[in-house]
Amino acid sequence: MKTRITSWCKNANDEKFLLALELIPETNTVKCLQFKDEDITDSLIEDLNSKWKNHEEIELPTHEANETELKVDTIIPEGLIPEKESDISVKVNEWNFIVLSSKLYESYKSELSELKDRIERIEQFDKGIWENLKGFWSKVQDQLREKNLFREHGSMLKEHTNELFSKLKDLRTKMDKEFNLESGKNKQDLYNELDGIDAKIKDGQRLQAVFDELKKIQQKLKNLKLNKEDRSKIWERIDKAFKEVKEKKFGSAGNSGGVSALERLDKRYKGLIEALKKMDNSINRDKSDLEYQNNRNKDFVNQLEAQINIAKIAMIEERIRSKSEKLAEMNKTRLELEKKRGFLEIQEKKKSEEEKVKQAKEEIKERIASEIEDNKDDAKLQKLADTIKEGTDKLKEVAEKVEDKLEDIADKVEDKLEQLADKAEEQKDKIEDAVEDMAEKAFDKAKDIASKVKSSIEETIEKLQGDEESDKTEEEK
C-alpha cells in the first residue's frame, strides 16, 4: 500500500489546490504539502506522481507544509474539499490499516528483542525458551496468513527469528552430544547388570529374586538419562529377560497366557465397537439438544436470556464438533483393526495348514515305521535257516529262497509306500518328495536286511559242512 498520494481540492472560495499527502505510520500522522493553482506546472504534477510517490527527491515550488494526526474519517486539512471524495475514503481506511499493522509489527519486534536478550544470556539449551520462540513464530505466521502484517515486516521478523532458532539449535546440539555420552555410559552399566541376571536365569536358581531384580532395574530406568535408542535397547533386554524367567517358572504357556494375537485383537475390536456406539448416541443426544435450543431461541424476549441461550448453543456445537473428531479417529482405528484382523486371519490359516502338513508327515513316518516293523517278522526265516540240518545244496537253495522272499517283501513295502504317498498327495502335494525319499531308504534298508540274512545263512552252511560227518554218524546210530 502506498503511503504518498496527491489530491486536487477546493476551498470555500472555489480556489484550487494540489495536495501531496504522506502517511508517517510511526507517529500516526499525515504530512501535507499544499500547492496553489498558479504555482502548479505540468512537470511538477509529473514529478509528484512518478518520483515523489516512490520516495525520490524532487524540487518543490513555494508551498505550505503542515502535519496533522490521522483521523478515522478524513486525511484532508480542514477547510478543503477533495474533488474525489471516494478515493480519499478508501485511502483513509488503508492508512488506518497501515498504522495498526505497523503497531502490531513494532509489538512483535519488541517481543522478539526480549527473546533475543534471554537467548544471549543462556549458556545451555533451555526448552522453555525454545517453546516460547516457537509460540512467538506461530503467532507471527497466523498474522501473516490473515494478511495483518506486511510482507516486508514478516520477512524481517522471520530473518531475526531464524537467527535465534539457529543459536538455540547449536546449544541443543552441544547438549545432545553431552547427553548421548552420559546415555552410553548408563546403558553400559545396565548391560553389565543384565548380563549378570542372564547368567542367573541360565542357572535357573532363585528365579523370584531375579524377577525382583528386573523390576528394580525397571524403576531405575525411569530416572536415568538415556536417549531414545539406548532406552529402547534396554527395554528389549529387560523384556526378553522377563519372558525367560516366566518360561523357566511356568513353561512356554507363561509367556502368552494361551491367548492368541487374533483373540486379543477381537477383544479390543469388540470394545471399540461398543465405544463407537456410545459416542454416536452421545452425538445424537447433543444434536437433539442443539435443535431444542435453536427452537427455544425464538421465544426469548429478555436479551440476557437470549445471550445465555446463544452461549449454550455455541457450547453444544463445540461439543458436537469435538466428539465428531473423536468419532472419526475411532472409525479410523476400527478400519486399521479390521485390516490387521484380516492379516492375522491369513497368518492363522497359514499356520493351521502348516500344522496339518506337519501332522500328515508325522503320520506317514509312523505308518512307514509300522510297515517296516511288521515286515521284520518275515526275517524270522533266518531262524529257520539255523535249524536246517540238511546238506549243503539244500541249505543254499533255502538261502536263495530266503533272499527271494526278502526281495518280495521289499517290493511289497515299496508298493505300500507308494499307496501311502498317493493318499498323502491328496492332503498336500508337497509331501510327495518326502515320501519317495523315505520309500527309497526303506527299499535300501530291506535289501540290506536280505544281504545280511544271506551272509548269515552262508555262515551257517559253512558251519554245517564242518559238522556233517558227525551228523551222519549220529544218524547211523
Average pLDDT over residues 227-244: 87
What span, in angstroms and rounded, lies between the C-alpha atoms of 288 and 282? Answer: 10
Distances (CA, A) of 303 to 293, 306, 317, 441: 15, 5, 21, 101
Q: How many CB atoms lie within 10 A of CB 89?
A: 14
Mean pLDDT, residues 49-63 taken together: 84
d(CA 19, CA 62): 13
Q: What are phi and psi of 84, to 5 degrees?
A: -120, 85
219 vs 254: which has the higher pLDDT: 219
Q: Would you tell me the crossing angle of helices 228-250 and 207-223 to the nearest 10 degrees?
A: 160
Starting from the edge strand earliest in sequence, which strands make up the sheet with 64-69, in order? Answer: 64-69, 29-36, 16-24, 4-10, 81-82
Burial of 21 (0-12, 13-18, 19+ CB in 10 A): buried
Q: pLDDT tens for residues 308-351?
A: 777 778 888 888 888 899 999 999 988 988 888 888 888 888 87
Say if residue 283's pLDDT is above 70.
yes
Complete DSSP assignment for 268-318: HHHHHHHHHHHHHHHHHHHHHHHHHHHHHGGG--SHHHHHHHHHHHHHHHH
Task: List pLDDT tens digits, range 95-125.
Answer: 888 888 888 899 999 999 999 999 999 988 8
**pTM for the whole structure:** 0.41
Distance CA(336)–CA(126), nearest Å, equals 39
Rounded Cα gap, residues 284 and 18, in angstroms: 67
Q: 3-state class of 69 per DSSP?
A: strand
294-296-300 Cα angle (round to 5): 120
What letter does residue 429 receive in the DSSP assignment?
T
Please give the pLDDT value at position 390. 57
- pLDDT at residue 433, as a whole number: 55
pLDDT beyond 80 at 232: yes
What's the confidence (pLDDT) of residue 133? 93
Q: What sign does the CA torsion over 248, 249, 252, 255 have?
A: negative
pLDDT in tens, 449-465: 556 655 665 665 566 56
What is residue 185's DSSP assignment? H
399: exposed, middle or buried (Cβ count in 10 Å: 0-12, 13-18, 19+): buried
First to last CA, the chain: 147
User: How far is Cα 257 from Cα 254, in angstroms, rounded to an integer?
Assistant: 6
Confidence check: pLDDT of 304 > 80: no
pLDDT at residue 392 in the model: 52
Of 284 and 443, the structure prediction assigns the larger pLDDT to: 284
Look-up: residue for cell 515286515? 375
Q: Enter the C-alpha cell of residue 217.
A: 532395574
| Confidence check: pLDDT of 270 > 80 | yes
Per the model's pLDDT, the better-predicted residue between 467 and 269 turns out to be 269
Residues 6+ apart with CB under 8 A from 234: 187, 190, 191, 194, 221, 226
Residue with the three cell numbers 476400527:
334
pLDDT over threshold 70, residue 130: yes
Q: So where are the chain's domains?
A: 4-99, 122-256, 377-476
Contact 25, 102 (CB under 8 A): yes
Question: How would you label 168-197 residue by residue, b for 16+ Cβ within 10 Å and e otherwise?
Answer: beebbeeeeeeeeeebeebbeebeeebeeb
